[in-house]
Amino acid sequence: MPVTTIGLDADDTLWHNESLFRLTQERFCELLADTAEAGVAMTRLAEVESRNLRLYGYGVKGFTLSMLETAMEMTGGEPPGHVIREILAAGREMLAYPVEPLSGVDEALHALSETYRLVLITKGDLLHQEQKLAASGLGDLFAAVEIVSEKDASTYERVFARHGTGAAEAVMAGNSMRSDVLPALQAGAYAAYVPYPLVWAHEVAEAPEGEPRFAELSTIADLPAWVRSL
Amino acid sequence: MPVTTIGLDADDTLWHNESLFRLTQERFCELLADTAEAGVAMTRLAEVESRNLRLYGYGVKGFTLSMLETAMEMTGGEPPGHVIREILAAGREMLAYPVEPLSGVDEALHALSETYRLVLITKGDLLHQEQKLAASGLGDLFAAVEIVSEKDASTYERVFARHGTGAAEAVMAGNSMRSDVLPALQAGAYAAYVPYPLVWAHEVAEAPEGEPRFAELSTIADLPAWVRSL
């Protein structure tokens, strides 16, 4: 069946994201260095984030609130003022951080957009994701943008039905096995896994085995050739 | 031209929202009662919210971060621990607050959904708005849900083109003159203003004059009859 539509993840597929979270986590651990070893603060923060995911969803604002909550717990409910100030500032800096496409993204998307309909499919804070897309300069290459609260098979069915010719004629490409690859395959789409050096523990999953509609690509630069070969 | 599609705002049109923000603001002012009079805290918070709107967008998470920032400013950067704890708790409670449709909403939407395609069009936190819609029990009445970062004329053009037969054959109904009524009229749609007793200062605007495609309704119960009269 011919491919008509390419879904692309955004964070860590088109531009850096996890590295910025990691830098902020390190900054958070340094802030609490008097209270706990870095490893302890990191673990506590991950626990609080995970616990809050259902309430806050994905994105920087929820992450900032989770850092504050962790700081409260780790200081017996009396964090020094500068800790609060630094956490609020870190969140603001993440939201305002300059966005630059990863190497090869610009060329791959230009090549793909000549033949296929490109759809951005991403989780995160609505406004922030829109702002990052605008700042990336890639916005005009996309026929549609879908910012979603969760990426499961029904999400991909709905999005590819709405913006393309159905999941069977669509490719999803992204850096998360759990959010981009597996549910897209489940929906009947093709899926390309384009790893990023860092991956959030929440997004880790096993690669599918013996799945002809799946490919692992070492770089997004290989995406146009793979899509043409389908 | 026949109307095919009805756009509906969510917060304070389908269920209470501003009243919950007001209650939380009052709680915030009480928390800072030792530091400043209630009027001062309220004003400072509104200033911080307004300044942060471009970065945080609409919704409870950004509001919580703005309360924390205001508390920092008002306590010389050293807020007591219980103030931080109470603000974080207030944000969580807002996100988990039970949702109940306003009086007349259920009947009006059931009546409209028999003839027209209903589209929910709302600002706010993506996940939270989806959760509120699910909790309201109204989700099945909507053919589509669009959670947007801003409501301007181009938003309504895009949404009514995607989910209906264009803005000229659509009605937008909501409690905000600024976000629901004026931009929808500008896009070429009909618009019904259904006031809620409280309105966020940010959403205040003058009613349009001599506009045949506009109506002010005293309750959403009057919406089906008005739409049928068009």
Residue A88 distance to chain B (closest CA, Å): 7
Q: Does the CB of A72 have a partner CB in chain B at under 8 Å?
A: yes
- Answer for the pair B223, B192: CB distance below 8 angstroms, yes or no: yes
Q: Which of A151, A205, A200 is nearest to A20 (CA)?
A: A200
Residue B172 has pLDDT above 80, yes or no: yes
Q: Does the CB of A158 have a partner CB in chain B at under 8 Å?
A: no
Structure tokens at A183: 């549910």
Tell me: do B121 and B224 sit in the same domain: yes
Residue B146 distance to chain A (closest CA, Å): 10
DSSP string, B25-64: HHHHHHHTTTTS-HHHHHHHHHHHHHHHHHHH-SSHHHHH
Tell me: do B215 and B113 sit in the same domain: yes
- Residue B93: closest CA among chain A residues belongs to which residue? A55
Q: Measured between alpha carbons, how far is A43 from A47 in angstroms, rounded to an integer?
A: 6
Residue B217 distance to chain A (closest CA, Å): 31
Rounded to two decimals, the pTM is 0.90
Residue B1 has pLDDT above 80, yes or no: no
Give chain B's domain count. 2
- Which residues of chain B are within 8 Å of residue A126 when distances are taken between CB atoms? 57, 125-126, 147-149
- Residue B92: closest CA among chain A residues belongs to which residue? A55
Mean pLDDT of B62-84: 97
- Which residues of chain B are within 8 Å of residue A78 when distances are taken between CB atoms? 80-81
Q: Long-range contact list for B104-109, CB < 8 A, 24+ apart?
A: B104/B219, B104/B220, B104/B221, B105/B14, B105/B15, B105/B138, B105/B220, B106/B138, B107/B221, B108/B220, B108/B221, B108/B223, B108/B224, B109/B8, B109/B14, B109/B138, B109/B141
Per-residue pLDDT band for A204 (boundaries 50, 70, 90) equals confident
Q: Does the CB of B78 have a partner CB in chain A at under 8 Å?
A: yes
Q: Measured between alpha carbons, how far is A103 from B104 in angstroms, rounded to an integer?
A: 55
Residue B203 has pLDDT above 90, yes or no: no
- Which residues of chain A are within 8 Å of residue B61 when distances are taken between CB atoms? 56, 61-62, 65, 125
Residue B43 distance to chain A (closest CA, Å): 21
Tell me: do A105 and A216 sit in the same domain: yes
Tell me: do B132 and B167 sit in the same domain: yes
CATH code assigned at B76? 1.10.150.240
What percent of chain B has a predicted confidence (pLDDT) above 90? 87
Cβ pair B88:A78 closer than 8 A: no
Q: Does the CB of B92 have a partner CB in chain A at under 8 Å?
A: yes
Closest CB to B149 among A64, A85, A130: A130
- Taking all residues of chain A, what is their mean pLDDT, rounded to a whole number? 94
Q: Does the CB of A78 have a partner CB in chain B at under 8 Å?
A: yes
Per-residue pLDDT band for A224 (boundaries 50, 70, 90) equals very high
Tell me: do A131 and A184 sit in the same domain: yes
Tell me: do A213 and A122 sit in the same domain: yes
- Residue B158: closest CA among chain A residues belongs to which residue? A144
Cβ pair A56:B81 closer than 8 A: no
Domain finish residue from A96, A128, A162: A96
Residue A198 has pLDDT above 90, yes or no: no
- pLDDT tens by residue, A60-80: 999 999 999 999 999 999 999
Amino acid at A133: L
Q: Does the CB of A127 have a partner CB in chain B at under 8 Å?
A: yes
Tell me: do A181 and A165 sit in the same domain: yes
pLDDT at A36: 86
CATH code assigned at B205? 3.40.50.1000
pLDDT at A94: 96
Domain finish residue from B96, B117, B138: B96
Tell me: do A90 and A121 sit in the same domain: no
What percent of chain A has a predicted confidence (pLDDT) above 70? 100
Residues 94-123 on B with a CB inside 8 Å of A are: 95-96
With tokens 């939380």, the residue in question is B24
Q: Measured between alpha carbons, how far is B78 from B87 in angstroms, rounded to an integer?
A: 15
- Residue A148: closest CA among chain B residues belongs to which residue? B126
Tell me: do B55 and B161 sit in the same domain: no
Burial of B200-215, coded b for 16+ CB within 10 Å and e otherwise, reads beebeeeebeeeeebb
Q: Does the CB of A88 have a partner CB in chain B at under 8 Å?
A: yes
Mean pLDDT of B210-219: 94
Residue B198 has pLDDT above 90, yes or no: no
Q: Which of A77, A88, A80, A91 is nearest to A34 (CA)?
A: A80
Tell me: do A45 and A66 sit in the same domain: yes
Per-residue pLDDT band for B197 (boundaries 50, 70, 90) equals confident
Mean pLDDT of A93-98: 94
Closest CB to A65 among B69, B76, B88: B88
- pLDDT tens by residue, A103-141: 999 999 999 999 999 999 999 889 999 999 999 999 999
pLDDT at A38: 83
Residue B6 distance to chain A (closest CA, Å): 19
Residue B118 has pLDDT above 90, yes or no: yes
pLDDT at A129: 93
Tell me: do A112 and A218 sit in the same domain: yes
Per-residue pLDDT band for B36 (boundaries 50, 70, 90) equals confident
Residue numbers of the domain that contains B28: 18-96
Per-residue pLDDT band for B131 (boundaries 50, 70, 90) equals very high
- Answer for the pair B25, B42: CB distance below 8 angstroms, yes or no: yes
Closest CB to A61 among B56, B85, B92: B56
Per-residue pLDDT band for B61 (boundaries 50, 70, 90) equals very high
What percent of chain A has a predicted confidence (pLDDT) above 90? 87
Residue A89 distance to chain B (closest CA, Å): 10
Domain finish residue from B43, B73, B96: B96
Tell me: do B136 and B84 sit in the same domain: no
Cβ pair B125:A125 closer than 8 A: yes
pLDDT at B200: 78
Residue B97 distance to chain A (closest CA, Å): 11
pLDDT at A122: 96
Q: Does the CB of A51 have a partner CB in chain B at under 8 Å?
A: no
Per-residue pLDDT band for A206 (boundaries 50, 70, 90) equals confident
Mean pLDDT of B164-189: 97
Q: Which one has a higher pLDDT value, A162 or A201?
A: A162
